[in-house]
Amino acid sequence: MIRQKKSLSLLLVLPILLGGATTAFAAQRTAHYSYDVPRFNGHSTTGRSIKKLSRTSAVNNNTSNGAGVSLKSWVINAYNGKEVTNTATFASGQRINMTYKESVKNYVGGHYKMSIGTSWSEWHNIHTSGYWSPDDK
């Protein structure tokens, strides 16, 4: 009888625990970007900031770069513009991770934006689009 009560209690509590984990994971957000990046080492920054929720690297999931040009991306603090990840180069359609400069736990809860830039030798504005997140989503 006691064993049945424990089993029943576990069956009632388990969905609540799993539901909480699913909700926390679902709360992680990505943002779509689509803009022209200026030539000659120019850069564009996403307009909307995203709150960092986990202890993972940031991600840029690019869908296309105009003319197949490689670009670079990095994440900045939404309030002071300070770079918080290392710069990573990506090709058209490539998904890349950007590692945080300090311990990731220092960034959880903060609000961030992503910047994308061209090289010094790029003579044209480059259109780029994709999705990004301060968490590896």
**Lookup: tokens for 79:** 């309030």
Which amino acid, 45?
A: T
Q: 125 near 39, Cβ under 8 Å?
A: yes
Domain boundaries, the chain: 29-133
Model pTM?
0.79
Report the alpha-carbon distance of residue 62 to residue 23 in Å, rounded.
26
Angstrom distance (rounded) from CA 2 to CA 10: 12
Gyration radius (Cα) of the chain, Å: 20
| Residuewise pLDDT in 10s, the chain (137 residues) | 555 555 545 444 444 444 444 434 445 589 999 999 999 999 999 988 999 999 999 999 999 999 889 999 999 999 999 999 999 999 999 999 999 999 999 999 999 999 999 999 999 999 999 999 999 87
Tokens of 98: 């950007």
The CATH code that applies to domain 29-133 is 2.60.120.260
